[in-house]
């Protein structure tokens, strides 16, 4: 039997209940045995779409199903739980276009506005909120790239919210592409985020420093030595004694 690792996420409704239901449905599928399950962590959303925080977890399943069959099973669970990922408009294939032409119907070419709306809709579906999200992360040590499925998951090594729960149940599992363990990928990603955050802090500090007024430019009428004294030192002449009125006039 093959060992497959599944990523689970939810940020709509009762998130914990959604994850529990998904695990139960996964357990009930034929030719699938539910193995280890990580703890559930709460994470901020990624992708730029404003939405609630996620609950994320990972699990291992032992199965005789092929990757595409597992994908079909996961999609069916998502649909059963109300996720409408299949609502994205489908692009016509070459055969479908030929059929349309044979029937004498014009092929509708969407305007730029419609294309922009469609693109935004697709983006929101990918990165937006969802009742449940089930992704194949790893399937044994298989590396595959198909039209509908890429294994290992193409963003696995970049996502702390996946690496963290996955490292709980399979820390020493080797990523077949990067040849690194899950725990090492997690450490690298955390280190990268920490360095990036420090860079942002440094840039902010430098920006603040650049807007600061130099000490020598902070002149005060009550301090005659501040500007005049500097000129005298530069010219190497003695500092004249000034009255309060003289100082104010000189500063202006």
Task: Tell me: pLDDT of 201 over 90.
Answer: no
Q: How confident is the model at residue 30, as a pLDDT?
A: 92
Q: How confident is the model at residue 2, as a pLDDT?
A: 96
Task: Tell me: pLDDT of 213 over 80.
Answer: no
Farthest-apart Cα atoms in the chain, separation: 102
Does this model's pTM top 0.75? no
Of 33-42, 44-53, 98-107, 217-226, the one with minimum mean pLDDT is 217-226
Q: How confident is the model at residue 135, as a pLDDT?
A: 96
Over residues 23-28, the mean pLDDT reads 96
For 56, phi then psi, to 5°, come to -125, 150
Highest mean pLDDT out of 56-65, 77-86, 140-149: 56-65
DSSP state of 174: B
Task: Tell me: pLDDT of 138 over 80.
Answer: yes
Q: Give me the helix-helix angle, 15-28 and 67-80, nearest 10°.
A: 130
pLDDT digits (tens, 9 = 90+) for 62-87: 999 999 999 999 999 999 998 764 43
Alpha-carbon distance values, 235 to 53, 81, 198, 224, 232 (Å): 65, 83, 44, 17, 5
Q: How confident is the model at residue 41, as a pLDDT?
A: 95
Alpha-carbon distance values, 169 to 38, 175, 225 (Å): 6, 14, 70
Task: Kindly report the length of the chain.
Answer: 252
- Per-residue pLDDT band at 121 (split at 50, 70, 90): very low
Q: Are 116 and 124 in contact (CB under 8 A)?
A: no
- Per-residue pLDDT band at 58 (split at 50, 70, 90): very high
- Domains of the chain are 2-84+123-194 (3.30.70.560), 215-251 (no CATH)
Q: Collapse the DSSP code of 94 into the 3-class scheme (helix H, G, I; strand E, B; otherwise coil) and give the result.
A: helix
**What's the chain's average pLDDT?**
77
User: Hunting for tokens 């199965």 — which residue is that?
Assistant: 63
Q: How confident is the model at residue 82, as a pLDDT?
A: 87
pLDDT digits (tens, 9 = 90+) for 151-183: 999 999 999 999 999 999 999 999 999 999 999
Helix (H) or strand (E) holding 136: strand 133-139
User: What is the spatial distance between Cα 209 and Cα 194, in angstroms, rounded to a whole number?
Assistant: 22
Task: Tell me: pLDDT of 187 over 70.
Answer: yes
- Per-residue pLDDT band at 203 (split at 50, 70, 90): low
Task: Tell me: pLDDT of 150 over 60.
Answer: yes
Q: How confident is the model at residue 128, as a pLDDT?
A: 64
Q: How confident is the model at residue 14, as a pLDDT?
A: 94
Alpha helices in the chain, H assignment, sequence order: 15-28, 67-80, 94-102, 112-127, 160-169, 182-211, 228-235, 244-251
- Per-residue pLDDT band at 126 (split at 50, 70, 90): low
């Amino acid at each position: 039997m093959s060992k497959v690792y599944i990523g689970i996420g939810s940020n709509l409704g009762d998130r914990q209940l959604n994850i529990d239901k998904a695990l139960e449905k996964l357990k009930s599928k034929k030719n699938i045995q539910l193995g280890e399950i990580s703890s559930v962590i709460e994470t901020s959303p990624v992708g730029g779409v404003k939405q609630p925080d996620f609950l994320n977890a990972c699990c291992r399943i032992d199965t005789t199903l092929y990757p595409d069959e597992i994908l079909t099973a996961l999609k069916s669970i998502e649909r059963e739980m109300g996720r409408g990922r299949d609502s994205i408009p489908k692009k016509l294939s070459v055969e479908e276009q030929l059929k349309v032409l044979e029937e004498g119907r014009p092929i509708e070419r969407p305007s730029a506005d419609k294309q922009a709306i469609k693109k935004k809709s697709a983006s929101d579906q990918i990165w937006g909120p969802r009742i449940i999200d089930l992704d194949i992360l790893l399937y044994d040590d298989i590396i595959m790239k198909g039209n509908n499925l890429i294994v290992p998951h193409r963003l696995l090594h970049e996502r702390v919210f996946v690496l963290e729960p996955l490292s709980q149940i399979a820390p020493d599992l080797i990523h077949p592409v990067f040849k690194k363990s899950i725990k090492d990928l997690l450490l690298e990603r955390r280190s990268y985020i920490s360095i990036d955050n420090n860079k942002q802090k440094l840039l902010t500090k430098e920006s603040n420093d650049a807007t600061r007024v130099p000490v020598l430019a902070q002149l005060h009428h009550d301090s005659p030595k501040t500007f005049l004294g500097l000129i005298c030192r530069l010219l190497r002449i003695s500092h004249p004694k000034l009255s309060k009125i003289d100082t104010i006039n000189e500063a202006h």
